[in-house]
Structure 1
Amino acid sequence: MRILFLSAANSIHTVRWVNALSERGHEVVLVSLKNHIAKINTISANVRQVYLPVKGKKGYYLNAIFLKVLYIREQIDVVNAHYASGYGTLARLARLPNVLLSVWGSDVYDFPRESKMKEKILKKNLKYAVQIASTSYCMAEQTRKIVRDKKIVVTPFGVDIEQFRIHPKRNKDYFIVGTVKTLSYKYGIDMIIKAFRLFLDQLDKTDHIHMVIYGEGEQKDELIELCKLLGISDKVHFKGYIANMNVPEAFRTMDIVCFGSRMESESFGVAAVEAMACGCPVIATKVAGFKEVMEEGRTGYLVSAEDYEMMAVYMLKLYRDKELRDEIGLNGRKRVERFYDWNQCVDMMIDLYMSMKRK
């Protein structure tokens, strides 16, 4: 099967999909804007990469003819356009047939709220697609609010359960609270830091307790200043950007993993799934993506957005009870194996492609 994969090549999600499809023997043509160029050696040599001539936002409009010619020349069986606002617009303007449109989150949560024009564009893109795919049920429901007459298939974005797996914890002499997220306001890293400060306040001895934060973002300097203000700069360690392949090793150092997302555009809690696969108990906010992938009280705990006091309560509870941490970690692993095994997710996507393949 020849698949035209229209998506940002510099996204780890894109890389994982195209590599997996290629490994299954399908011919994949990955088409992206020039400003979305992939990092070296991340994409399989068996995946053909094509970068469109016009970059930037105008590229979603001015590359339509080039894309149409490419589609015809490559004798494509099915098109999978990712991100309903940008690449969805390009697929529609190129009049590509047989389009599966995969929604990502902010394209259906945030984009249509920015203006009436953007809402109109999104509706056109969703209606144009032959089929719509969503990584979560909550995002599928959000998409149905925008366009009601289209079938939406839920195709979870799973994890490699061999790569993300339970291992003995490193740094046994230390108790580590951690997170892996972009350092942006919407991900609530400041909330986790405040919760950590309250957690420390409940303890007599804290020399062995630390927080690690993996990720980069525009809020980094502000978060460093917050740690200084709270008097915990020596306790909170900013580790910077981490490649996805190194995330499992990072989780192996953590006793508790926390996520403080504020926005409903956290449409699929893939970071929580990765942590659960590694046997880490998770504390997260009650945004749609985390509520869907987690099981309250069994794989971790959910708190209201901004409620860092309750997050601190759960930190303390898990800190004091190792058996509880182990039980919750094992429950999380079992849930991932049941619902979010990457190989099963790829099988599901290929079945969807085959049902749409040109006759």
Structure 2
Amino acid sequence: MKKLKVVLLAGANSIHTIRWANGLQKAGLDVYLISQHPLMHNLNSEVKYYEFSNHGIFGYFLIVAKVRKILAEIQPDILNAHYASGYGTTARLVGFHPYILSVWGSDIFLFPKKSFIHHWLVNKNLLAADAIASTSHCMALETNKLVALKKPIFITPFGIDKDIFYKERNYSASGYLSEDKIVIGTVKSLKPVYGIDLLIKSFAILYNKLKASHPQLAEILRLRIVGGGQELEVLQALAASLNIYNLVEFIGQVNHEQVPEELAKLDIYVALSRSESFGVAILEAGLNQCPVVVSNVSGLAEVVVHEDTGLIVESENINEASEALSKLVLNPELIQRLGANGQKYVLENYLWPVSIKKMVNAFNATIELKHSRNY
């Protein structure tokens, strides 16, 4: 039986791109990856890789002729561009079909709001594709708000690798992971959109309340922030101004391979993002049996069952977030129950093979749709 031949047009610097490429190749597809971004993660040797010099925004236009030439040589069954703005622009100008455009998040929620031109560009790119793939239902709805699409939108969530993130937790006699500390934390880039400032403020409120009501718990409370980015100094200053700097560890950026180790150090994982298209980090935490507290932005709330796999709080509400954290800290048995339920939820709904199957089905349906329109 002939292998399905797919070309991915996407940023090779993103771990999500590499996971799609490797996962599709392992599933038996003939995979090619074209990028103007440098390869920064381990790509299977069986995936054919083409990299062009990165010229930023102009690069998406400059590589059009080269991509067109490569596609003529490969003759793939389908082209899959990732990100509606940059690589979506390249794919539209290349003009290859059948073509499915994968939208990721900020390209739909943030980029079109920058100006009329940005909105126009994304709309043109969405209309040029034969079908759309979205990581979440909430982003599919947002995509349809941008422009009325008379074409399929397939839901293709990022899957979680059981071999990497699955963990059974061993709790101490105190009910927490350790006898001498309770660790609340997150693994996220230090960008305003991810609400790390809200986490720090919520933690400070929690700490001050516990200092008055449960001083023995306040004494062992810690906040662990894993991630690098533009807001580091601002966040460090915030922690200092709230008199909790000595309780906060800023670990810095870690490789994706180290994320499971970091999750295993957290009693509670927190994501108070201001915008999020899909909660892949929440699912990684869940498979690691780590309970979560998340803001009610659509992409996060979509992957959390409130009071069953985690707690959902109102966005920007630091008092509600601190109350949720308090509820967990004061009830270690709830931490354990939510963590176990979260792991079960991911195992049943979001493992990587399921996501790969959904993407392959989207490819085949798009190919069939294109062929039916040609005859």
Given candidates 266, 286, 298, the residue that maps to 1:288 is 298
Give structure 1 stretches of 5+ with no counterpart: none
Measure the CA separation in 2 of the matches of 1:357 and 1:127.
17
Task: Find out whether 1:12 has 2:15 as its counterpart.
Answer: yes
Task: Find out whether 1:208 has 2:220 as its counterpart.
Answer: yes
Measure the CA separation in 1 of the matches of 2:208 and 2:270.
18
Moved more, 196-205 or 252-261: 196-205
2:102 is matched with 102
Given candidates 230, 236, 241, the residue that maps to 1:229 is 241
Measure the CA separation in 2 of the matches of 1:174 and 1:261.
25
Q: Percent identity?
A: 37
How much does 1:54 deviate? Answer: 6.0
For the 8 Å contact 1:167–1:252, the answer to whether it is kept is no
Residue 58 of structure 1 aligns to a residue whose secondary structure is helix
Measure the CA separation in 2 of the matches of 1:2 and 1:276.
34
2:265 is matched with 253
Residue 230 of structure 2 aligns to a residue whose secondary structure is coil
Measure the CA separation in 2 of the matches of 1:103 and 1:283.
26
Residue 191 of structure 1 aligns to a residue whose secondary structure is helix
The one-letter code of the counterpart of 2:51 is Y
TM-score calculated relative to the size of structure 2: 0.91
Task: Find out whether 1:25 has 2:32 as its counterpart.
Answer: no
For the 8 Å contact 2:155–2:358, the answer to whether it is kept is no
Measure the CA separation in 1 of the matches of 2:365 and 2:45.
27
Given candidates 322, 339, 342, the residue that maps to 1:332 is 342
Residue 29 of structure 1 aligns to a residue whose secondary structure is strand
Residue 162 of structure 2 aligns to a residue whose secondary structure is coil
Alignment of 1:41-120 (within 5 A): 42-53=42-53, 55-120=55-120
Measure the CA separation in 1 of the matches of 2:112 and 2:304.
28
1:147 is matched with 147
Alignment of 1:279-358 (within 5 A): 279-357=289-367
How much does 1:21 deviate? Answer: 1.2
1:275 is matched with 285
For the 8 Å contact 1:171–1:253, the answer to whether it is kept is no
2:173 is matched with none
1:123 is matched with 123
Task: Find out whether 1:217 has 2:229 as its counterpart.
Answer: yes
How much does 1:161 deviate? Answer: 2.2
2:174 is matched with none
The one-letter code of the counterpart of 1:317 is K
Measure the CA separation in 2 of the matches of 1:7 and 1:62.
15
Given candidates 187, 191, 195, the residue that maps to 1:180 is 187
Measure the CA separation in 2 of the matches of 1:318 and 1:53.
49
1:161 is matched with 162
Measure the CA separation in 2 of the matches of 1:112 and 1:185.
18
The one-letter code of the counterpart of 1:212 is R
How much does 1:357 deviate? Answer: 4.1
The one-letter code of the counterpart of 1:160 is D
For the 8 Å contact 2:81–2:88, the answer to whether it is kept is yes
The one-letter code of the counterpart of 1:10 is N
Measure the CA separation in 2 of the matches of 1:333 and 1:53.
41
How much does 1:150 deviate? Answer: 2.1
The one-letter code of the counterpart of 2:342 is G
TM-score calculated relative to the size of structure 1: 0.95
For the 8 Å contact 2:313–2:324, the answer to whether it is kept is no
1:37 is matched with 38
Aligned length, in residue pairs: 354
How much does 1:232 deviate? Answer: 1.2
Q: 1:230-273, CA deviations, whole angstroms, 9 ceiling, x for partnerless residues?
A: 1111110011112222111111111111111112xx11011111
The one-letter code of the counterpart of 1:347 is K
CA RMSD of aligned residues (A): 1.5
Give structure 2 stretches of 5+ with no counterpart: 171-176
